[in-house]
Amino acid sequence: MNHHPHDELELAYKIRHVLDHGTGNLDRNTCDKLLAARQQALLHQKPAIAGLSLAGIGQVVGDALLPQVRMLAALFALACGVVGTYYWNSFQQAAEYEEIDSALLADDLPINAYLDRGFHTWLDHSSPSPSQ
């Protein structure tokens, strides 16, 4: 049920008016008790108002900064991924080079034989194919 803000404000004024006229008929003891209850309610309301105002400020700051923080976090995660991938690949390549170097050093052939293109062609023709 949708109420117009003007209707709600008018209703609040009417309720206040009725309550104001009704307090004129109350005795002094009841008025004192109502005043004490009102003061107690106001004392308990101050921390709640302060908390709400801080939460409101936090929400405004959060709404303004949250998209930027999310973007920075995403960019940081992307940069970490790129750097991590680069180092992982470099370690993998170093391990492959280490295996090649070990094989070359353990072999009887001179290194220049591996650099000769004809040697690679001879290896391709002389090695048995996997299907044989």
Q: Where are the domains of the chain?
A: 26-126
The pLDDT tens digits of the residues spanning 117-130 come to 777 777 677 666 55
Pick the residue with more confidence: 27 or 123? 27
- The tokens describing 50, both together, are 């302060």
Please, are residues 93 and 101 in contact by the beta-carbon 8 Å criterion? no
What are the angstrom distances between the C-alpha of 14 and each of 9, 23, 79? 9, 14, 63
Q: How confident is the model at residue 81 (pLDDT cuts 50, 70, 90)?
A: very high
Select the more confidently predicted residue: 6 or 92: 92
Which carries the bigger pLDDT value, residue 55 or residue 22? 22
**Contact predicate 23/31, CB 8 Å:** yes
Helix (H, G, I), strand (E, B) or coil at 108: coil
Q: What is the rounded CA–CA span in Å between residue 125 and residue 33?
A: 109
Q: What is the pLDDT of residue 54?
A: 54
